[in-house]
């Protein structure tokens, strides 16, 4: 499956960091952030501060160069990406705006990091080294992350340079190998079904009934919220769409989606 855009030269990280457009910066600045000192960056791209806090880059997801995330042959992060994150943070100064005071099960605080006043996650998304992750905490820089990813996609930069980054939604066995992992998947919608009452789930199917293909589940409250933002479940049938989220195994691989940004047309 070919990506629907022509190939352009890959953006160098330093250039992207220096040249974020004003549109990227709109609403995404250091307001509420405090200066921090970096101790190290782990192979999983967690940023360890000198005060011993661990920071997770919110709103973005890296795709390993070797193997699928979480598999025995996978690298925790692409070596180029890891090196560039370390280089950027070493250049400093660095500031942090936590998005929640509550740490996750691994003791990490999710937050926005800024290097020299520029948003690190947006920079990484613009180079195609990370993708936007809608099922994460959203802060003031979420729109900037999406805009940065859009630039990377137009340039076929980083992960967008190869169709391998996007799994076929009709290939259930392949998707089942990514159980519990965040993926991008695309395919033609074969069928949609709307929940019959206020508590029922709605579904988007990428295969015929009973087929081993991806399906998307949306609960009633999430669907109501998404439709208020312009989402139209009924118009998806027959169209090719891209979905992103964590794959879960069951009768067939599926995603539970509750954010409008997790679904887009891919015709």
Give percent of the chain above pLDDT 90.
67
DSSP E strand stretches across the chain? 34-36, 38-41, 47-49, 54-57, 60-62, 94-98, 108-115, 118-119, 130-132, 166-168, 182-188, 191-193, 202-205, 215-218, 240-246, 254-256, 263-265
The tens digit of pLDDT for each residue in 80-130 reads 888 889 998 998 899 999 999 999 999 999 999 999 999 999 999 998 989
For residue 2, the model assigns a pLDDT of 37
For residue 10, the model assigns a pLDDT of 26
For the chain, the average pLDDT equals: 85
Partners of residue 191 on adjacent β-strands: 205
For residue 69, the model assigns a pLDDT of 46
* pTM of structure: 0.81
Mean pLDDT of 154-162: 89
**Residue ranges per structural domain of the chain:** 13-161, 163-265
Partners of residue 203 on adjacent β-strands: 193, 217
Fold of 163-265: OB fold (Dihydrolipoamide Acetyltransferase, E2P) (2.40.50)
Mean pLDDT of 9-20: 38
CATH for the 13-161 domain, from 3.65.10.10, 3.40.50.720, 3.30.70.100, 2.40.50.90? 2.40.50.90
Contacts of 120 (CB under 8 A, 6+ apart): 57, 85, 88, 89, 112, 113, 114
Rounded Cα–Cα distance for residues 23 and 147 (Å): 8
For residue 16, the model assigns a pLDDT of 44
For residue 26, the model assigns a pLDDT of 61
The tens digit of pLDDT for each residue in 176-205 reads 999 999 999 999 999 999 988 878 999 999
The tens digit of pLDDT for each residue in 214-259 reads 999 999 999 999 999 999 999 999 999 999 999 999 889 999 999 9
Give which of 123, 119, 139 is closest to 30, Cα–Cα: 119
For residue 163, the model assigns a pLDDT of 80
Give percent of the chain above pLDDT 70.
85
Question: Comparing 68 with 107, which gets the higher pLDDT?
Answer: 107
Residue 15: pLDDT band with limits 50, 70, 90: very low
* Low-confidence winner among 25-29, 169-173, 174-178, 196-200 (lowest mean pLDDT): 25-29
Do domains 13-161 and 163-265 share one topology? The answer is yes
For residue 96, the model assigns a pLDDT of 97
For residue 155, the model assigns a pLDDT of 95
In contact, 189 and 238? CB cutoff 8 Å: yes
Rounded Cα–Cα distance for residues 155 and 193 (Å): 36
DSSP E strand stretches across 94-201? 94-98, 108-115, 118-119, 130-132, 166-168, 182-188, 191-193
6, pLDDT greater than 60: no
Q: For the chain, what is the total number of helices (H) and then of strands (E)?
A: 7, 17
Name the residue with tokens 């919608």.
189
């Amino acid at each position: 499956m070919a990506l629907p855009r022509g190939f352009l030269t890959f953006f160098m990280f330093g250039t992207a960091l220096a040249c974020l457009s004003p549109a990227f910066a709109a609403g995404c600045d250091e307001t509420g952030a405090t200066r921090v000192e970096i101790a190290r960056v782990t192979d999983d791209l967690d940023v360890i501060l000198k005060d011993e806090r661990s920071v997770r880059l919110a709103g973005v997801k890296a795709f390993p160069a070797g193997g699928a995330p979480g598999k025995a042959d996978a690298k925790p992060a692409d070596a180029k990406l890891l090196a560039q994150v370390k280089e950027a943070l070493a250049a400093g100064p660095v500031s942090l705006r936590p998005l929640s005071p509550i740490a996750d099960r691994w003791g990490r605080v999710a937050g926005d990091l800024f290097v020299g006043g520029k948003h690190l996650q947006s920079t990484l998304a613009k180079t195609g080294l990370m993708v936007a992750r809608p099922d994460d905490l959203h802060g003031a820089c979420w729109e900037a992350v999406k805009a940065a990813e859009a630039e990377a996609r137009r340039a076929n930069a980083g992960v967008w340079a190869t169709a391998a980054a996007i799994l076929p939604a009709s290939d259930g066995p392949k998707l089942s190998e990514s159980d519990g992992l965040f993926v991008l998947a695309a395919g033609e919608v074969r069928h949609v079904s709307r929940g019959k009452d206020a508590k029922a789930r709605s579904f988007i199917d990428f295969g015929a009934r009973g087929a081993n293909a991806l399906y998307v589940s949306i609960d009633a409250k999430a669907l109501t919220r998404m439709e208020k933002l312009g989402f139209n479940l009924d118009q998806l049938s027959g169209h090719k769409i891209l979905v992103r989220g964590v794959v879960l195994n069951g009768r067939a691989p599926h995603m539970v989606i509750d954010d409008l940004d997790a679904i887009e047309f891919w015709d």
